[in-house]
């Protein structure tokens, strides 16, 4: 049923849509090499890296921006 | 940079892998905080973040037509002001099509009437959502589906419309350009715009993997190349005071930027030289 005015009353419910299924390449972070610059968090289009630099594979689309912007080459893109 | 526990733009949205628009909005919302009402014109952003009955927005959000986000933002701001709610940020997002072409008149009115709001144009330099048609913000030489490269055409034959300067001509208190590749600079400008009493406008360059033709991991790199070559200049005009906010140590040749994108790959030396001259003139004019 479409609500009047197409109002959606559940903020952020696009989380139901697990975009991780789009992925071809998977980012793998080596925390030993990580220098906490937070580039991977700041530049992730899918908010899939948390403050502890854990990657959320439910939503990561595998774009590879995190690996490209990592100054210490701590992230490797591996084929699924 | 402050990293929030939870972004105000939720994942699960349908933006392409490597989408710059979601980075743009995520950073802006995190800077503005929860006490914000967002308005979006039709465009990539609206389509990818609100496929009914889902939404990625964690703040109140209104989608309006292509041409009236400026008018709706004015109305939201006025309604909040009359209720005495002066501490709520009103931010409108529009793509380049929704801003420099279709939404220009309502945006111009909103700016001229002095509404206390922020308008952010996320500029990916063509109508990406509908299939990469040229807009007023498409740069010279770019191949799009309505300015295609071929025997009869070399691509877009007109320079990009200078939207931030059109906004500055309204005499509003704050105008800035920004890039998603320089998040500290961008976030600082968003915060400054929010603190400004009256209308503020930010023109944000946002590289688009699908429309520009580069691999998805290069979104930020492409934004950096635009700034390093002087193709995109970062500045602000705060109450009439013009200031360049980032100066590349050494300006790279514009070819470095053009040769990495499919939309410019067809350009011959003559056209590249013409674009270089255009960029040089622009940099000289703004003092870069």
Q: What is the mean pLDDT of residues B104-121?
A: 98
- Rounded to whole angstroms, the Cα distance separating B52 from B76 reads 22
- Going by C-alpha positions, the residue among B131, B9, B4, B2 that lies closest to residue A59 is B9
- Going by C-alpha positions, the residue among B10, B232, B239, B24 that lies closest to residue B121 is B24
pLDDT per position as a tens digit, B243-268? 999 999 999 999 999 999 999 999 99
Evaluate whether residue B11 is within a structural domain: no
The two three-digit tokens of residue B254, written as one number? 């514009």
**Adjacency order of strands within the sheet including B174-179:** B61-63, B36-40, B89-95, B118-123, B200-205, B174-179, B235-238, B241-244
Is A15 in contact with B215 (Cβ distance < 8 A)? no
The whole-number pLDDT of residue B113 equals 97
Compute the C-alpha angle B117/B122/B127, nearest 5°.
125
Q: Which residues pair with B227 in a beta bridge?
A: none
The whole-number pLDDT of residue B12 equals 98
Band of the pLDDT at B103, cuts 50, 70, 90?
Answer: very high
Residue of B18, B55, B183 with shortest CB distance to A14: B55
Distance between B137 CA and the closest CA of chain A, angstroms:
23
Name which residue leads in pLDDT, A2 or B37.
B37
Evaluate whether residue B7 is within a structural domain: no
Domain range for residue B154? 20-286
Residue of A18, A45, A62 with shortest CB distance to B19: A45
The whole-number pLDDT of residue B107 equals 98
Band of the pLDDT at B110, cuts 50, 70, 90?
Answer: very high
Evaluate whether residue B59 is within a structural domain: yes
Q: Which residues pair with B242 in a beta bridge?
A: B237
The whole-number pLDDT of residue B16 equals 97
Evaluate whether residue B14 is within a structural domain: no
Domain CATH number, residue B167: 3.40.50.970
Torsions phi, psi for B139 (to 5 deg): -80, 160
- Rounded to whole angstroms, the Cα distance separating B212 from B135 reads 13
Cis peptide before B161 (omega within 30 of 0): no
Longest dimension (CA), chain B: 61
Evaluate whether residue B9 is within a structural domain: no
Q: Choose the mutation target among B5, B12, B223 for the interface with A, i.e. most A CBs under 10 Å.
A: B12
The whole-number pLDDT of residue B156 equals 96
Evaluate whether residue B97 is within a structural domain: yes
Q: How many CB pairs under 8 A join A and B?
A: 113
Q: What is the mean pLDDT of residues B162-184?
A: 98
Band of the pLDDT at B1, cuts 50, 70, 90?
Answer: confident
Residue of A nearest to B53 (CA): A8
Beta strands B118-123 and B200-205, pairing class = parallel
Evaluate whether residue B8 is within a structural domain: no
- Rounded to whole angstroms, the Cα distance separating B20 from B216 reads 10
Query: How many structural domains compose chain B?
Result: 1
pLDDT per position as a tens digit, A9-48? 999 999 999 999 999 999 999 999 999 999 999 999 999 9
Q: What is the mean pLDDT of residues B163-181?
A: 98
Give the right CATH number for A17-79 from 1.20.1440.230, 3.90.1010.10, 3.30.70.20, 3.40.50.720.
3.30.70.20
The two three-digit tokens of residue A5, written as one number? 């005015």
Task: Give yes or no for residue B114 having a pLDDT over 90.
Answer: yes
Distance between B267 CA and the closest CA of chain A, angstroms:
27
Question: Average per-residue pLDDT in chain B?
Answer: 97
> Residues of B152-182 as b/e, b for ≥16 C-beta within 10 angstroms?
eebbbeeebbebbebbbebebbbbbbbbbbb
Evaluate whether residue B3 is within a structural domain: no
- Going by C-alpha positions, the residue among B163, B36, B55, B146 that lies closest to residue B99 is B163
Band of the pLDDT at A3, cuts 50, 70, 90?
Answer: confident
């Amino acid at each position: 049923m479409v609500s009047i005015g197409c109002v959606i009353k559940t903020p952020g419910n696009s989380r139901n849509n697990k975009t991780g299924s789009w992925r071809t390449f998977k980012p793998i972070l080596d925390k030993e090499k990580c220098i906490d610059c937070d580039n991977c968090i700041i530049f992730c289009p899918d908010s899939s890296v948390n403050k502890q630099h854990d990657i959320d594979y439910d939503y990561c689309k595998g774009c590879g921006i995190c690996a490209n912007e990592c100054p210490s080459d701590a992230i490797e893109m591996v084929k699924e | 940079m402050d990293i929030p526990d939870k972004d105000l733009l939720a994942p699960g949205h349908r933006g392409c892998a490597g989408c710059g628009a979601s980075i743009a909005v995520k950073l802006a919302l995190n800077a503005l905080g929860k006490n914000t009402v967002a308005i979006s014109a039709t465009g990539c952003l609206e389509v990818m973040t609100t496929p009914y009955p889902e939404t990625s927005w964690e703040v109140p959000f209104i989608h309006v037509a292509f041409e009236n986000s400026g008018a709706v933002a004015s109305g939201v701001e006025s309604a909040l002001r009359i209720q005495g709610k002066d501490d709520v940020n009103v931010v409108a997002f529009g793509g380049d099509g929704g801003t420099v072409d279709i939404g220009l008149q309502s945006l111009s009115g909103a700016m001229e009437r002095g509404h206390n709001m922020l308008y952010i144009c996320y500029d990916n330099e063509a109508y990406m959502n509908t299939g990469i048609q040229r807009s007023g913000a498409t740069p010279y030489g770019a191949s799009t589906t309505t300015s295609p490269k071929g025997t009869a055409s070399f691509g877009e034959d007109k320079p990009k419309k200078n939207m931030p300067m059109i906004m500055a001509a309204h005499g509003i208190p704050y105008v800035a350009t920004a890039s998603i590749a320089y998040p500290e600079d961008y976030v600082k400008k968003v915060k400054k715009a929010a603190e400004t009493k009256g209308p503020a406008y930010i023109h944000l360059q946002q590289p688009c993997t699908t429309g520009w033709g580069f691999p998805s991991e290069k979104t930020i790199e492409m934004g950096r190349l635009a700034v390093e070559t002087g193709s995109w200049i970062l500045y602000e005009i705060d109450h009439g005071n013009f200031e360049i906010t980032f100066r590349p140590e050494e300006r790279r040749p514009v070819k470095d930027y053009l040769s990495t994108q499919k939309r410019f790959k067809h350009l011959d030396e003559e056209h590249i030289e013409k674009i270089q001259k255009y960029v040089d003139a622009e940099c000289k004019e703004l003092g870069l």
